[in-house]
Amino acid sequence: MSALLRRLAPLPFVLLAASVLVFALPRLTGVDVPRAVLRARTADAVPDPEVQARVAAEFGLNDSAVVQYLRWLGAALRGDLGFSFVTRQPVAEVVGDGLAVSGVLTVLALGLAASIGVPAGVYAASRPGGLLDRGLSAAGIVGVSVPEFVLAPWLVLVLAVGLGVVPAVGWGGPQHVVLPVLTLAAYPGALAAQLVRAETVEVLGRDHVRLARAKGLSPGRVLWRHGARLATTSVTSLSAMVVAGLLGGSVVVEVVFGIPGLGRGLYDAVLAQDLPVIQAATLAVVVVAVSAGAVVEVLALVLDPVARNREESR
């Protein structure tokens, strides 16, 4: 627990730095925010200057950037993330809903990727150069290299249009989870398989593994307890990066399958210059990324006795 708390300690400072960046960057693009917001709300290419002025006043955009930032930060510290410029809905609700949807997708995709990628990598490492190893390597290359915008329509064509076993689009029931999860799991699953295979092959050649074999441990025990266990530390570290990427960056999948997730919401907010949503959504991703990184580091300690000893000797 103390290791976890130590790793989470920098989170407030990271968040503060991120909040400054997130606040400043949209304002440095030179885009006229009231005009962009009005365009997002209507199909009007030529917003009325009087209306623009009213919108700017309503959102406090006429104040200096420092005043705007401090006002936003103060409200955020009180738990008030404000209202969306475009939809006028509470930002906490907008971001929370998106985060919940993307969270479900992320957890399921990572779970699927790990449950297939890790055993596949371990098995390939147990017989390097074998037929299955080569087959899994080829599948891994395909999984890593085929982009989501190709894989997603292909899965729809096969499973929704061809076989008719799952719906092509939509969100709401368990049936809607299948295609996006398969799409999102392909890359991390393939990457995990490749990583685990490489690490396991390397670990199986170490002295302590040879010693374990010499002591008469069964091949399966050697492989899983001494080989795969160490190899999975790299996969655990990888998952921290993947979590943040999937949470905020699954725009393609969310658009293709019509899913109201955080990535699509953030993308729409950026187009519409919906500053409160951009700020809150980005910070949410930062919080998750930092937290996931800390949790993963602690998990790595559990899995890797050498690192654990190093940590305990601090």
Residue list 280-299, contact with other proteins (CB under 8 A): none
Name 75's Cβ contacts closer than 8 Å, sequence gap at least 6.
81, 82
Q: Smallest gap, in angstroms, from Cβ of residue 128 to other proteins? A: 12
What is the number of other CB atoms lying within 10 angstroms of the CB of residue 90?
Answer: 15
Which lies closer to other proteins via its Cβ, residue 36 or residue 203?
36
Question: Least distance to other proteins from the beta carbon of 156, Å?
Answer: 5
Single residue of 250, 273, 279, 282 touching other proteins by CB under 8 A: 273
Token pair, residue 40, equals 């997002």
What six digits make up the tokens of 205? Answer: 């050649």
The secondary element (H helix, E strand) that includes residue 289 is: helix 275-303
Residue of the chain from 60, 135, 147, 170 that contacts other proteins (CB under 8 A) = 170
Q: How far apart are CA 219 and CA 228, in angstroms?
A: 12
Site for other proteins in 183-212 (CB under 8 A): none
List residues bridging with 90 in a β-sheet: 83
Sequence-separated (6 or more) residues with CB below 8 Å from residue 169: 256, 257, 258
Quick one: which of 17, 25, 48, 134 contacts other proteins (CB under 8 A)?
48
Report 105-164 residues binding other proteins (CB under 8 A).
112, 115-116, 119-120, 122-123, 126-127, 153, 156-157, 159-164
Give min distance, CB of 43 to other proteins, in A.
5
Kindly tell me which residue out of 18, 19, 26, 38 binds other proteins, with binding defined by CB under 8 A: 38
Contact residue for other proteins among 174, 216, 312, 313 (CB under 8 A):
174
Q: Please, which residue, 53 or 302, has the CB nearer to other proteins?
A: 53
In terms of C-beta density within 10 A (0-12 exposed, 13-18 middle, 19 or more buried), how is residue 43 classed? exposed
Rounded to 5°, angle at Cα 251 from 21 and 88: 65
Contacts of 56 (CB under 8 A, 6+ apart): 33, 34, 62
State the minimum distance, in angstroms, from the CB of residue 218 to other proteins.
7
- The reply on whether position 80 binds other proteins by CB under 8 A is no
Residues near 94 by beta carbon (within 8 Å), at least 6 away in sequence = 84, 87, 265, 277, 280
In the bound state with other proteins, the residue whose beta carbon lies nearer, of 23 and 257, is 257
Which tokens sit at 96?
Answer: 């929370």
Site string for other proteins, 4-33 (x = CB under 8 A): -------------------------xxxx-
- Which 245-264 residues touch other proteins, going by CB under 8 A? 255-260
Site residues (CB under 8 A) for other proteins, limited to 212-231: 218-220, 223-224
CA–CA dist 183, 178 (Å, integer): 9
Q: Shortest Cβ distance from residue 83 to other proteins (Å)?
A: 11
